Amino acid sequence: MKKAIVLLSGGLDSATILYYAKTQGFDPYCLVFDYGQRHNKEIEQAKKIAKNAKCSFEVMKISLPWQGSALLNKKMPLPNRKLFKANDIPSTYVPARNIIFLSFAVSFSEAIGASAVFIGANAIDYSGYPDCRPDFFKAYEKVLAKGLKSGIQKKPIKIITPLIDKTKAQIIAMGLELKVPYHLTWSCYRGGARPCGKCESCSLRQKGFDTLGIVDPLLLNLN
Ligand SMILES: [Zn+2]
């Protein structure tokens, strides 16, 4: 069976691609990052999702002591999505996050002979991060072709972004068909017992379920 690394955050998008990777004939190895997020809840949920999917997982503890993001610095306020202007990059942007995560993932891939890395990046209902755009992933694949042993040997590692052009509602519809356990996923930038309902991540998730006319199973589970 083909091996793949799946970047799993515990959120809705990455849970969806984990189940998607399985339907594409891959044996997924989940890579979860503990990078100093505001809370540990999403990491705990990521472990539950990996176990539910019967996939192995690795939690990588890394540190970005220079921070530079509201997701890492609790003293910075989380932005309210309704106040965004088009083309703004919000303060929840983490400097170079996807470059860092993907670099660990391709190292893991080469070491175990995996041929692909799945990442749940999305360029439609997303937060304006430059490292979630198709252009970035295409350019990054070129880097891998030049800078890795597998690239030089003409067996380049693919970066697969199945959600890149989907709306949040389309992602959820896809996940429901794949039987993704959305009650186990956590999207809120804040920890706590219930999602805050106000941060950009909660807003996008809510919009997706509302568009489909269904109640978020996470909220059902909490009632
Ligand atoms: Zn929230």
pLDDT tens sequence across 73-110: 888 887 776 666 667 888 888 999 999 999 999 999 99
For the record, the structure tokens of 205 come out as 């998730």
Q: Give the pLDDT of residue 186.
A: 96
Gap between the Cα atoms of 8 and 55, Å rounded: 11
From ligand 1's centre to the CA of 190, what distance in Å? 6
Segment holding 91, helix H or strand E: none
What's the CATH architecture for 2-222?
3-Layer(aba) Sandwich (3.40)
Instruction: Of 11, 23, 3, give the one whose Cα is nearest residue 177.
Output: 23
Gap between the Cα atoms of 110 and 88, Å rounded: 36
pTM of the complete model: 0.93
From ligand 1's centre to the CA of 29, what distance in Å? 28
From ligand 1's centre to the CA of 196, what distance in Å? 4
3-state SS class at 174: helix
From ligand 1's centre to the CA of 147, what distance in Å? 38
Gap between the Cα atoms of 17 and 123, Å rounded: 15
Question: Tens place of pLDDT for every residue, the chain, 223 residues?
Answer: 999 999 999 999 999 999 999 999 999 999 999 998 888 899 999 999 999 999 999 999 999 999 988 888 888 887 776 666 667 888 888 999 999 999 999 999 999 999 999 999 988 876 688 899 999 999 999 999 999 999 999 999 999 999 999 999 999 999 999 999 999 999 998 888 899 998 888 999 999 999 999 999 999 866 5
From ligand 1's centre to the CA of 145, what distance in Å? 38
